Each structure stands twice: as C-alpha cells, then as structure tokens.
C-alpha cells in the first residue's frame, strides 16, 4: 500500500498550509484592536499599560528569582591600558554558578556613569572585536562598562562534552545551547530568559555597587539577542536610566512573515495571543530615555516593522511630553553590532547620562584573548570543580516547583482522576474549541493482499484551514470493534515500507487509519530556508522549529494542534465504522500524540505505544536528553505529564501496551 502523491494526490495544495495557518492566527491577534497602543491616551493609560506588560513579561518567563544579598565576586585580573583599564571578573548569580565579565574602567576616581553591555549571539561574545571596540571607546569617554558572557557562550559554554545523536547543542554563537536549554524551561512553564535576565540583574548589582560608579546614571545596551535582553531588563529593573537596544525590535508580524525562527529566550509564550508586541515592551519604558538602533538591510529584523513600532512608541511617550526621549537611528548596513551605531549612540549616552561632550576615538584596538579571559581553563565549567551547569540550575528549579514531578500519581480507586486529567488536558490544549464538519474526501480506493485501502483527506479547522490526510485500511476478515488511529513518526510518508505492520494492525483492529495530522506526512509544509543554513527540516532552527516556536507565541503548541487533529481522526473512524470505541497506536513522536489523544478522548479501548520517550519532567531535569523540536510544549509537568496520563488511562480501564 502506498502513501500520497504530491498535493494530497492533487486535491489540495498543502505546501504552505501550516505557514498560512500560523500567520493568519498571528495576524488576527496583532492586527486587531484589543490591547493596542492606540488605546493609550493619557499618562494613566500609559502607566496601566506598563503594569500590564511588566506583569505579563514577569509571568511569561516564570518570575524572577531573588538576587543574592552578597554574591561571590572574584577579580581574576586587571590590565592597564592607555586611558583605561580592563578587569576580569566572575560574579556568582547563584551558588556555584558564575557569570564571566570584563569591566572597562576609565581613568579618574569617578563616580562615573555605568553601562551594562549585553552580548547577542556572537561567539565568543566578550572577545568579539566590535564589542571590545565599543567598550573601549565608551570607557575612554568616561563610562565604567561591564560586558558579560550570556549563558552558553564565551567562557560560559555548556555542552562541549555532550554527544547527542543528530543534534548539535554547542556552538552556533549561543543559538544551539539556548534552544536546548530553552526547551527544558518551556516544559516547566518558564523561559530561558528568566535565567539570562537574572544573570544580567546580578551583573547590574555588581556594576552599581562599585565605588567608582554612580548608580543613578546607568545605561544598558546590546545588539540582536543582547538588544532583547536590554529591553527585558529595562522593563523589569527600574535601576536602568537609559536603554539602547540595537537590531532587535520590530513588529512581530513582520518578523513572522519573513520566515525567521524565534530564539528560545525570545519566544514569550502567549505574547502574540495577547497582542503584546515589541512596541508594547518599548512603550512600557516611557518616559525612560530610549535609543533604538536599526539596520536598513537587516535579514532578521525588518526595518519597516521597526519604523512603525517606534512611531507608535513615540506617540505613547508624547503622553509624557517626552517624544524627544525616543531616538531611532538607521544604519545603512546589515544586521550590525553596537559599534556600528557608535557616533549617534555614544553621543546620545554621553548626553543622557551627563558625561559631557562625546569624544570619538580613532580605531580603538581590541585586546587579545589572554587579556580579557577570566579563567585559566577557558570555561567556568573547567575552571571550578563546584561549578553547576545551566541544566543543574533548571533541574533544581523544576524540582522545587514540582516536588512530585516525574512520579506516577497515586490514584484512589474511588476518585475521578481520569476525568480530572481529561478536563485539564482539554483546557490546556484547547481541545474543546469549535470543530468544523469533516466532509471526508475519498480520493483513491484499491485492494492490497486482501485488504481494502482508501486514501482520504479532510479539514479539522477552517478559516484558517487545517488539512489532514490518512490511509484507511480494512481487513474484511476481522470485525471492527475498536478501529485504530495509527501515528507513525512521519505518518503516511512511511508507507509502503510499513505495509506489513499496517496489515497486522488491520487484522487486529478490523480497520485502521494511518494518519497525518497537520504538518506531517502527506500534509507536511515545504521547507522554509530561513536562515539559509537551516536546511534540515527537523533540525535546530529548521522549519519544524520555526513552527513550534510560532505556536508558543500563540499560546499553543504543535503537539496540542496535532492532538486536536488526532481526536478528529478518531471521530471520523467512529462515524465511518459505527464503532463505539476507538484505539490509538503510536510510534516515536506519534506515541506522544496517541497518548495525549487517548487521555483526552472518551470511549477508548486501548493505546499501543512504541518507542515512547522520556516524560517531560525527565527531559527538563536530566542533562543529556533527546532533543525533538516537535515536542516543544509549555507547562505540562505539573498535571498533564506522561505519568499523569498513564495513571488516568489505567484508572479508566484502558488497555495500555508499551
């Protein structure tokens, strides 16, 4: 038996349907009237907006940890240079968890204004030549500048010793470790930004606590991922007196349109669903002095969205008569470092932080690695025997949040645990939303080895469409009492190689549907080659990765969407066979779809799970775990993880085979 030809046997062009679906949903949220800045008509409105955004941001990242009262600080070196000195520093943002930093110190006792310089996805970040030039020039203009390594980058590299099949979790300028650790955070309902911003706030503690720094004159700047950190930190920490994010803010909808994936720490779950865009974050800073650097040819940050967002932000600043406190500078350049904006930005910082006239420095020379290195071994993990990994820190937080996590719940025989789990799952995955009529199309019928084989497709949602497909296989020799939805990793694309397995299942169940939920098998989206090096559909920063993060922004997940489709497939099977019960068979990622659908469905006879992976609690708390972007989902550990579902199905008397 065969799978489908292109375009579901020529019946429906599905090549872009998942792209269209997610973009249409995002457009409806971001282009609507609810929660837009147009509603901010007074200072009171602006203050209320700031409070909403701050509350959402804090909640979305999982709250902010308490900062240590007396963090461990170690100065591992100091080097004198012409007009400034550079110090090598480590700061313990948590016990046995160190942030590496360089502090560029101007001549004179001060107190000087301070600049926290936040690095983006560059490797190594502090040693990057353009970042060093920026720090040197700022120091020679009278600023104390603290530049820090983000977690997973520079001397805080995390995964060089980790060997996972088919998954790169080190390098990539910090992209890969952030993706890997970030997925663990999502499972617990938090965000990697929680850990990055905590590190930044502890670095700010150190900067403000220096005797040569005036804590009432503090600026923050950074580009790309460092620009996003700048925005987050400035919204959440009132010690910031001037914020200068570069090459980082635009309209989210414009960014989604170009096909660019969202970094883990930038995927604020539910932000698009609530209509919270980058301009909302910037407007929450009003009337704080704000400099936005943009690049006219930026491949990641569409300039049109940047200009429109800044215009709306400037209107909000106008409620404070502070339009002049918002400055937009566009460089005639591609995605750029802070140093690209130095003439305008450094002059702006000198003015806003009262340092005096800006004095350009002619070609400041970057320092060699030995000068800026904070450790002899090259990383904090190799330098300190007691150093914890980001995985250790996440695992400790998850264990504290969910002390019973990973354990199979104890179910009282007299309780209604199965119904409770079903209700939780239906609400969490939005499975009770309005479903369209299926209107199944039977596009091909044949027989194979005595089996009746039919290819079908139908919609599970309309406006926007969600088209699914399947191969229906019936064995005339077996009565159909509990037809099965069969979910392979790659769906019907695994046919005909899996024909023998399907025949055995048809002989067992009478009728089976080898099913493709949205984005799988015959209804898989085309590959989105953005960025150009992300050519692996299922790899880090590949097409599937883009979709799972876009779904998170909409306060859902591909897992939830596909479970919804599987439930509609079960409804089709019941209607087609007049059976009162249905079964689910899953392999690999399909086993997660099968298990979650079975837990959410009623009248389930059995669940057959092959190669079911770890629980989400295990994936969040163990260091070396399989990475599958298809399983990116938020907030499932507490009450609808695998142990909860298995216990619920057992309580309902469903036969489970693993």
d(CA 130, CA 422): 54
Task: Give the sheet arrangement for strand 604-610, strand by strand.
Answer: 441-448, 451-461, 466-474, 511-516, 484-487, 582-587, 604-610, 655-657
Residues 178-195: tens digit of each pLDDT: 999 999 999 999 999 999
Domains 32-400 and 429-657 share a fold: yes
> Residue ranges of the chain with pLDDT lower than 50?
33-35
Confirm if 409 and 401 have CB atoms less than 8 A apart. Answer: no
- The verdict on pTM exceeding 0.85 is yes
Residue 415's pLDDT is 61
Residue 34's pLDDT is 46
**Residue 608 structure tokens:** 């057959």
d(CA 189, CA 555): 11
Which DSSP string do the residues of 376-437 spell out, in sequence order?
SSSSHHHH-TTPPPHHHHHHHHHHHH-TTTTSPPP--TTS-HHHHHHHHHHHHTTTTS----
Residue 33's pLDDT is 47
Task: Please tell us whether the domain made up of 32-400 is placed in CATH 3.30.70.260.
Answer: no
Compute the mean pLDDT over every residue in the chain, rounded to the nearest whole number.
95
Residue 333's pLDDT is 98
d(CA 280, CA 45): 13
Residue 501's pLDDT is 97
Give the start-end residues of each E strand in 126-198: 144-148
CA 71-75-77 angle, 5° bins:
165
Counting beta carbons within 10 angstroms of the beta carbon of residue 212, is it exposed (0 to 12), middle (13 to 18) or buried (19 or more)?
A: middle
Residue 464's pLDDT is 94
Residues 10-53: tens digit of each pLDDT: 999 999 999 999 999 999 888 754 447 888 999 999 999 999 99
What CATH architecture does domain 429-657 belong to? 3-Layer(aba) Sandwich (3.40)
Tell me, what DSSP letter sits at residue 167? B
Residues 261-279: tens digit of each pLDDT: 999 999 999 999 999 999 9
Q: Where are the domains of the chain?
A: 32-400, 429-657
């Amino acid at each position: 038996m065969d799978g489908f030809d292109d375009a579901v046997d020529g019946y429906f062009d599905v090549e872009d349907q998942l792209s269209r679906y997610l973009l249409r949903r995002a457009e409806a949220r971001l282009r609507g009237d609810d929660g837009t800045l147009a509603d901010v008509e007074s200072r009171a409105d602006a203050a209320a907006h700031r409070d909403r955004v701050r509350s959402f941001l804090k909640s979305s990242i999982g709250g902010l940890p308490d900062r240590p009262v007396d963090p461990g600080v170690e100065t591992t070196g100091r080097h004198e240079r012409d007009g400034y000195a550079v110090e090598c520093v480590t700061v313990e943002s948590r016990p046995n968890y160190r942030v590496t930093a360089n502090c560029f110190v101007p001549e004179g006792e001060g107190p000087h204004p301070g600049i926290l310089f936040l690095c983006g996805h560059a490797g190594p970040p502090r040693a990057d030549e353009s970042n060093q030039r920026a720090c040197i020039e700022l120091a020679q203009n009278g600023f104390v500048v603290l530049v820090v390594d983000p977690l997973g980058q520079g001397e805080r590299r995390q995964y060089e010793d980790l060997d996972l099949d088919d998954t790169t979790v080190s390098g990539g300028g910090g992209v890969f470790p952030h993706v890997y650790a970030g997925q663990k955070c999502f499972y617990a309902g938090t965000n990697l930004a929680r850990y990055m911003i905590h590190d930044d706030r502890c670095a700010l503690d150190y900067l403000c606590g220096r005797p040569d720094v005036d804590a009432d004159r503090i600026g923050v700047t950074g580009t790309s991922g460092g620009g996003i950190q700048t925005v987050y930190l400035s919204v959440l920490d009132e010690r910031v007196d001037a914020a200068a994010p570069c090459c980082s803010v635009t309209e989210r909808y414009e960014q989604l349109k170009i096909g660019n994936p969202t970094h883990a720490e930038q995927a604020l779950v539910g932000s698009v669903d609530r209509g919270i865009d980058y301009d909302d974050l910037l407007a929450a800073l009003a009337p704080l002095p704000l400099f936005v650097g943009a690049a006219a040819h930026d491949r990641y940050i569409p300039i049109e969205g940047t200009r429109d967002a800044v215009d709306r932000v400037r209107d909000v600043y106008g409620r404070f008569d502070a339009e002049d406190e918002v400055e937009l500078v566009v460089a005639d350049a591609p995605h750029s470092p802070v140093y690209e904006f130095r003439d305008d930005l450094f002059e702006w910082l000198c003015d806003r932080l009262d340092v005096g006239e800006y004095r350009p420095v002619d070609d400041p020379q970057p320092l060699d690695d030995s000068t800026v290195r904070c450790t002899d071994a090259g990383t904090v993990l190799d330098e300190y025997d007691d150093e914890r990994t980001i995985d250790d820190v996440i695992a400790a937080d998850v264990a504290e949040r969910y002390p019973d996590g990973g354990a199979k719940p104890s179910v009282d025989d007299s309780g209604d645990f199965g119904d409770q789990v079903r209700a939780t799952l239906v609400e969490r995955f939005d499975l009770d939303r309005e479903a369209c009529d299926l209107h199944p199309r039977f596009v091909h019928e044949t027989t194979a080895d005595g089996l009746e084989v039919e290819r079908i497709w139908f919609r599970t949602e309309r406006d926007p469409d969600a088209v699914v497909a399947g191969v229906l296989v019936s064995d005339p020799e077996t009565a159909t009492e509990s037809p099965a939805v069969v979910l392979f990793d790659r769906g019907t694309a695994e046919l005909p190689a899996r024909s023998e397995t399907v025949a055995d299942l048809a002989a067992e169940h009478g009728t089976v549907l080898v099913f493709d939920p949205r984005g799988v098998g015959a209804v898989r989206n085309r590959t989105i080659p953005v960025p150009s090096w992300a050519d692996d559909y299922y790899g880090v920063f590949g097409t599937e990765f883009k979709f799972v993060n876009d779904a998170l922004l909409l306060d859902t997940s591909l897992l939830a969407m596909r479970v919804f489709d599987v439930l509609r497939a079960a409804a089709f099977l019941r209607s087609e066979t007049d059976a009162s019960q249905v079964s689910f068979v899953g392999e690999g990622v399909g086993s997660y779809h099968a298990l979650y659908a079975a837990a959410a469905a009623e009248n389930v006879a059995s669940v057959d799970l092959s190669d079911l992976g770890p629980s989400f609690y295990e994936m969040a708390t163990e260091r070396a775990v399989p990475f599958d972007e298809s399983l990116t989902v938020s907030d499932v550990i507490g009450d609808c993880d695998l142990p909860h579902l298995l216990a619920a199905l057992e309580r309902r008397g469903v036969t489970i085979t693993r």
